[in-house]
Amino acid sequence: MTRPDISFEFFPPRNIEATFRLWDTVQALSPLGPRFVSVTYGAGGTTRELTRDVVATLHKNSGLKVAAHLTCVDATREETLAIARQFKDAGVNDIVALRGDPPKGANGFTPHPEGFNSSIELIEALREAGDFTIRVGAYPDKHPEAPSATADVEYLKRKFDAGASEALTQFFFEAESFFRFRDECEKAGIDKPIVPGILPIENWKGARRFAEATGTKIPAWVIEAFEKAERDDRQDLLATAMCTELCNELLEGGVDKLHFYTLNRPELTRDVCYALGVTPDNKLENVA
């Protein structure tokens, strides 16, 4: 099995303590040589300036390739494209282009009257603006708003046709979910890379809530395993073993890239990467 290419997702910190935690996470994970790291854009566009600043700072100070998430929520087309231009001015040409989720409590996605109506419109506008590498979201267990799994894959195909060059998936619990999805994408004529999104489960209750909210299927055995691990205070052990096993199955099935949702905590992601043979690139001259 070859060493997979990895990438990491971070979110923008909202206070000083969280800022230090993000920087510690970046320091801990950057020696693993990620293909890129991405920075999320808060639901409802709530972290617009923060995302821009984190992206620019990471690009300038970390030496890593940085991708900025960008959504269509609560902004005019002009405002959204202005943010994209700011990313570019900061030296960041990689964008994860998303329709986005509405702010908490809002009922479904309502486009801004002068905003982009869909991720496809955003992707087209970014392609026209030129010079961006555009990644998009994909949903192995189906996006909750998609009428069917087939419709969801067809929609993903339209996102690629509009200008995306790679998709990063929502997390999932079983490799089978990803393989089924990959087969459907292939049948639909998608020939661009689809990179599995991997969530090392730091906090089971939070992960379960998130899975339920995003329509991610939770197998009964996972619920049972975490209940037992919680009882025995062995959650980290289970999470590391489960996540490593999932990644190994994906790699055995021909996957060569993994995108980790780090939640700004490096430990589990690092342990899983080590278990997969992804270790720091120690060159001889770096060894004391």
Q: Which of 23, 28, 35, 43 binds ligand FAD (CB under 6 A)?
A: 43
Q: Is 216 in the site for ligand FAD (CB under 6 A)?
A: no
Q: Is 218 in the site for ligand FAD (CB under 6 A)?
A: no
Q: Which is nearer to ligand FAD, 106 or 223 (CB)?
A: 106
Q: Is 149 in the site for ligand FAD (CB under 6 A)?
A: no
For residue 252, give every residue at least 6 positions away whose Cβ sits within 8 Å of its Cβ, in sequence order, or none: 1
Q: Which is nearer to ligand FAD, 52 or 99 (CB)?
A: 99
Q: State the virtual CA torsion across 75, 81, 85, 86 in degrees, nearest 10.
A: 0
Q: Is 275 in the site for ligand FAD (CB under 6 A)?
A: no
Site for ligand FAD in 100-119 (CB under 6 A): 100-101, 118-119
CA distance 279 to 282: 8
Q: Which is nearer to ligand FAD, 98 or 250 (CB)?
A: 98
Stretch that binds ligand FAD, among 16-24, 149-157, 172-180, 236-244 (CB under 6 A): 149-157
Q: Is 74 in the site for ligand FAD (CB under 6 A)?
A: no
Q: Which is nearer to ligand FAD, 75 or 268 (CB)?
A: 75
Q: Which is nearer to ligand FAD, 96 or 272 (CB)?
A: 96
Stretch that binds ligand FAD, among 75-83, 96-104, 215-223, 229-237 (CB under 6 A): 96-104
Q: Which amino acid is at 245?
A: E
Mark whether 128 is an active-site residue: no
Q: Is 25 in the site for ligand FAD (CB under 6 A)?
A: no
The residues that are catalytic are: 9
- List contacts with ligand FAD (CB under 6 A): 40-41, 43, 69, 71, 96, 98-101, 118-119, 137, 139, 143, 145-146, 151-152, 155, 168, 170, 197
